[in-house]
Amino acid sequence: MHNKKISAVCVAAMLLGSTGLLPGQAALAADPAGYLFHSTFETGTDSWTGRGAAKVETASTGVYAGSGALYVSGRTAAWNGATLPLGDAFMPGIAYSFSANVRYTSGGKTDTFYMKLQYTDSNGDTQYDAIAEEQVPKGDWIQLTNTSYQLPADASNMQLYIETADSTNSFYLDEAAGAAEGTVIPGAGKARTVIQGDVSGDGLLDGMDMLLARKGMIAGGFTETYAGKAADVDQSGKFEMNDMVLLQQYLLGNIKEFPKVEVPVNEWDDYQETASPEMLQFYEDSIYQMGNTTRIREKIAKAQSGEQVKLAYIGGSITEGGRTDTCYVSRSAKYFADTFGTGSNVSFNNAGMSGTSSLVGLLRAQNDILNDQPDVIFIEFSVNDHPGESYEKSFEGLVRRCLSQENEPAVIIIINRSKGGYSMQDQMAAVGRNYNVPVISMDNALTNAFNKGVLTTDDYFTDEYHPHAEGAKLISDCIGYFYRQALKTENATEPYVLPDTTVYGTEYTTATIVPLAELNNFNNGAFQKGNGYGTLPYGLTFAKNSANTPITFSTQGKGIFIVYKANSSGMGTIKVNVNGNQSSISGNKQYTWGGPDADLAYIQSTAGTLNVSISMENTSSDFTIWGIGVIQ
């Protein structure tokens, strides 16, 4: 039971010393606004951590203010969320002001969010108390705030946390702060009832609304969700020129109310899933991010109209899957064709290659999938990549390159995990968020199902990494569930715009394996020409114990990659000299089994002539080159 409320300001007056700070407050009182804490997430998680199974990480897109926000994902229960220890700057029995802004983008139309306090009482028991509660519309930033919340008098080990009422939706958190009682902390405010035409949000319909609507039309949309909904005066679900005409007619007095456009019935809005509650939760958990759905909706509509639609899948051995009818590629392509196609108008290309990372995927993407101009592209390398700049930049480069194609394909990221839990989800999902593309996470779905006992690892894996036929079916089922959700009216989005922002860098984006015939003055030296590997075009194998005559050629570009046979041991090292700059590449690489890997040999800031020489470090060693990639 709380004691009579005591103002933080009053207590401060009694306890202030020569420093002008409350005991233990020195480190937290430095905020220019006088906040006791102020989490902006500009440079990190600001001491917030995941609660329960939840993971927290910084995000650079969709933020409320500044350039960063906290992204909370992997929630397996409503109480999982984000938490922050309050520390000794906050005193039991004293009232304070708290605020945080929250937003979610995948799930139902609304969700209930709570700001709460977890603490230990005088009996040593853990207690929970509500600070603020708000109904949050999907896509909107909403503020959780209480300007006068009294901490329990017997509280210790106090933690502020954010959770939801029932859902396990991932969400964003930004601009969280605590201050003295009565402090009005600026924020997004509560959810507002949309007034059609009131684009400015001031409660009036006037010339300012018309001005803002014109700016929104020129910019291709609005940064604020409320403004976009208010500008859609005919409530068609899109802000279009017709809305501008109606708003002008209303302001001129030609019409007294806005006519509502009859929106065609969407069969997917009322689609009833037939899976069990446990499996339905599995499918929901697999949608890490719905992302922008415009492109996938357009490609599905293209298939429904009878036009030819091509699907492409690029990844490692999970995607390759033996290229049988039971692999996830064949199953999901068949679902797309049977559900949206009109007969034989849907084809697919399985470009999975066993043992390869996204770096090799980037280098072969143009030849293996993009030249065919696919409509939908799935990218899966999550158990083949590793931490590090080369994997970060190659994965981002691959996503950006696919999105940049002239035919505007829909790009979908698939994230898997190993039986032991290995996955590059955090590294790859950051790219997915920046480019606002759909992310299907088998990592989340499987981990949650394993933790709950809904599935065992034997229900999915045939070994440490690969799904068996029923496991592949689970991937395909999750892809099908994504399609059905993407087609719902509530998940319709504005036309896709490729962002200017990057996560890791796009220096590798244009890198492509170049045919030997296109390398100027190519001489294979002591490397004998042989067979390639899969679709990799050539095999240049060093003749052991021969004269160390180098491969030589020249080309135009910014950099050189070498694609080579990699193994955990027994391989040699090459020396690559580009314009007088030498680097070494070893064929011995951890977690490789004789398949292709790649390394950057040289890069410069501008394109120019690259004079290249490749020789062996030790002529008694083996080395095979399967491709030479050039950054254009």
Residue 12: band (very low, low, confident or very high) from pLDDT cuts 50, 70, 90: very low
Residue 318's Cβ-side half-sphere holds a number of Cα atoms within 13 Å equal to 30
Confidence band of 18 (pLDDT split at 50, 70, 90): very low
CA distances from 265 to 262, 298, 328, 485 (A): 9, 17, 31, 15
Residue 10 has pLDDT above 90, yes or no: no
CA 296, 299, 301, 303 torsion: positive or negative? negative
Domains of the chain: 6-180 (2.60.120.260), 192-263 (1.10.1330.10), 267-491 (3.40.50.1110), 512-631 (2.60.120.260)
Q: Which residue has the higher pLDDT, 517 or 28?
A: 517
Q: At what angle do helices 442-452 and 277-286 cross, to 10 degrees?
A: 140
pLDDT confidence band for 21 (50 / 70 / 90): very low
- Number of other CB atoms surrounding residue 573 within 10 Å: 14
| % of the chain exceeding 70 in pLDDT | 94
Q: What mean pLDDT comes out for the span 49-67?
A: 89
Answer whether 146's CB lies under 8 Å from 80's CB: no
- pLDDT (tens digit per residue) in 237-279: 788 999 999 999 999 999 999 998 876 668 898 899 999 999 9
Does residue 137 have a pLDDT over 50? yes
Residue 610: phi and psi, rounded to 5, are -115, 115
pLDDT exceeds 90 at position 24: no
pLDDT in tens, 486-526: 999 888 888 899 998 899 999 999 999 999 999 999 999 99
Give CA–CA dist 181/346, Å, rounded: 62
Rounded mean pLDDT, 210-236: 87
Query: What's the CA gap between 475 and 328, in Å, rounded?
Result: 6
**Residue 15 scores a pLDDT above 60:** no
93: left (phi > 0), else alpha (psi -120 to 50), else beta? left
b/e 535-567 (16+ beta carbons within 10 angstroms → b): ebbbbbbbeeeeeeebbbbebebbbbbbbbbbe
Q: Above 60 in pLDDT, residue 176? A: yes
pLDDT at 27: 33
Percentage of the chain surpassing pLDDT 90? Answer: 75
* pLDDT level of residue 29 (50, 70, 90 thresholds): very low
Give the integer Cα–Cα distance in Å for 628 and 421. 33
Average pLDDT of span 355-377: 96
Task: Quickly list DSSP for 557-618.
Answer: EEEEEEEEEEESSS--EEEEEETTEEEEEESB-TT-EEEEEEEEEEEEEEEEEEEEEEEES-
What pLDDT is attached to residue 83? 97
Instruction: Using the structure block, give the residue that is written with the tokens 């939760």.
Output: 281
Give pLDDT tens digits for 77-102: 899 999 999 988 899 999 999 999 99
- What pLDDT is attached to residue 2? 39
* pTM of this structure: 0.76
| Helix 469-486 vs helix 294-304: crossing angle, to nearest 10 | 100
Give the pLDDT of residue 42: 93
| Pairwise CA distance, residues 140 & 121, whole Å | 36
pLDDT-derived band at 11, boundaries 50, 70, 90? very low
Query: What is residue 88's predicted lDDT score, i.e. its pLDDT?
Result: 84
Predicted pLDDT of residue 32? 64
Least confident of 6-20, 125-139, 461-475: 6-20
What is the structure's pLDDT at 449?
94
Is 182 in contact with 39 (CB distance < 8 Å)? no
Q: Region 589-614: what's the mean pLDDT?
A: 93
Report the distance separating Cα 190 and Cα 193, nearest Å.
10
What is the average pLDDT value for the chain, to the nearest integer? 90
DSSP 85-124: E-GGGS-TTEEEEEEEEEE--SSSSEEEEEEEEEEE-TTS
The string of pLDDT tens digits covering residues 288-324 is 989 999 999 999 999 999 999 999 999 999 999 978 8
pLDDT of residue 169: 86
**For residues 480 and 464, what is the distance between their CA atoms, to the nearest angstrom?**
25
Return the H-helix or E-strand segment holding 320. Answer: helix 317-320
pLDDT beyond 90 at 59: no
Provide φ and ψ at 12, rounded to 5°: -60, -40
More confident residue, 107 or 419: 419
Q: Is residue 122 within 8 Å of 154, Cβ to Cβ? A: yes
Report which of 375, 242, 381, 368 is spatially closest to residue 297, judged by C-alpha positions. Answer: 375
What DSSP letter does each residue of 260-304 carry, written as one string? PP-PPP-GGGG----S-HHHHHHHHHHEEE----HHHHHHHHHHH
